[in-house]
Amino acid sequence: MKKRDFLKLAAIASGMSSVAPTAMALDFGKMLGAGADLAKSANISDEELSAYFDQMTAQYDKQHKIADEKTPYGKRLQTLVKGLETEDGLKLNFKVYETPEVNAFAMANGTIRVYSGLMDMMSDEEIRYVIGHEVGHVKAGHTKARIQTAMRTSALRQAASATGGNAGLLAESQLGDLFEKVISAQHSQGNENEADDYAMAFMKRRNYDAKAAVSALEKLAKLSEGSSASWLSTHPAPSARAQRMKSQLG
């Protein structure tokens, strides 16, 4: 190496050590934190899982109009879920979002939210099937697997931020981002089948009308004709699912 090149490198190194040690330490700390988050995401505890979902529930409840228990929607739901406060080891809490959307969802912390648009188009027994279906997603571990995947993505974003990438850290929007990835993302056919199977067993175990599983899916299939309802964008092939449920009626 030529002497002038050596001196140039020495000057660069000296400048880095005198000007940017704090910044380098912070970036390295972020990268270590990202690595820890990534490793932790593969083994998330039930307590941590519940805490994440509690935060998502609180934020999403704030963003929607919740039907009071004294309103027609509130009264109807309370009648439908009487005796379902605990189900198959889960402690459940129910609310109605007053919105014309046709949808429902459940979280691993026992949150179940039913949209009034879905209640408008379905009978009581069909709503019970929907509740059983959503509980089925939780019992099968679908929501837990999704939040682990979302945490890995978050960790990768943190690492990218530490190295000057464009991913950036999520602040208040992180919960909304988690909701989209964990609750609102497209379900696989396999996951839907598992949740449907659970719902059918749920209907039979509770002595509800199991045929409602078929009629509910048939209504969703009809709704899918030329519709962009949020339920349809996250649940595949309701007509095929209806046929599958029909074969389990016995």
Residue carrying the six token digits 């002497």: 3
DSSP code for 237? -
Asked whether residue 214 carries a pLDDT value surpassing 70, the answer given is: yes
- CA distance linking residue 190 with residue 194, whole number of Å: 6
Compute the distance between CA of residue 67 and CA of residue 72 in angstroms, rounded to an integer.
Answer: 8
Q: Is 82 exposed, middle or buried (0-12, 13-18, 19+ CB in 10 A)?
A: exposed
Q: Looking at residue 6, what is its pLDDT? A: 41
pLDDT tens-digit map of 178-193: 777 777 766 678 888 9
Q: Residue 9 above 80 pLDDT?
A: no
Tell which wins on pLDDT, 163 or 127: 127
Asked if residues 128 and 208 have their Cβ atoms less than 8 Å apart, the reply is yes
Give residue 245's pLDDT band: very low, low, confident or very high (50, 70, 90).
very high
SS (H, E, C) 162-212: HCCCCCCCCCCHHHHHHHHHHCCCCCCHHHHHHHHHHHHHHHHHCCCCCHH
Active-site hit among 126, 134, 194, 218: 134
Neighbour order of strands in the sheet with 93-97: 93-97, 111-115, 104-106
Rounded to whole angstroms, how far apart are CA atoms 147 and 48?
11
pLDDT at 44: 61
- For residue 104, pLDDT over 50 is answered with yes
Calpha distance 74→58 (Å, rounded): 19
| pLDDT value at residue 38 | 44
β-strand pairing of 90-91 with 86-87: antiparallel
Give per-residue pLDDT as tens, 32-85: 444 445 444 455 667 767 777 888 898 899 999 999 999 999 999 999 999 998
For residue 233, pLDDT beyond 90: no
Which segment of 100-104, 171-175, 181-185, 204-208 scores lowest on mean pLDDT? 171-175
DSSP state of 95: E
Is the pLDDT score of 16 beyond 50?
Answer: no
Q: Give 117-129 pLDDT, tens digit per residue.
A: 999 999 999 999 9
**CB burial class (10 A; 0-12, 13-18, 19+) of residue 91?**
exposed
Q: At what angle do helices 211-223 and 238-246 cross, to 10 degrees?
A: 160
pLDDT above 70 as % of the chain: 67
> How far is 88 from 50, CA to CA, in rounded Å?
17
Residue 87 neighbours by CB under 8 Å, 6+ apart: 135, 202
CA neighbor of 63 nearest in space, from 93, 98, 94: 98
Grade residue 226 by pLDDT with cuts at 50, 70 and 90: low
The two tokens of residue 145 are 């697997």
Q: Catalytic site residue 47? A: no
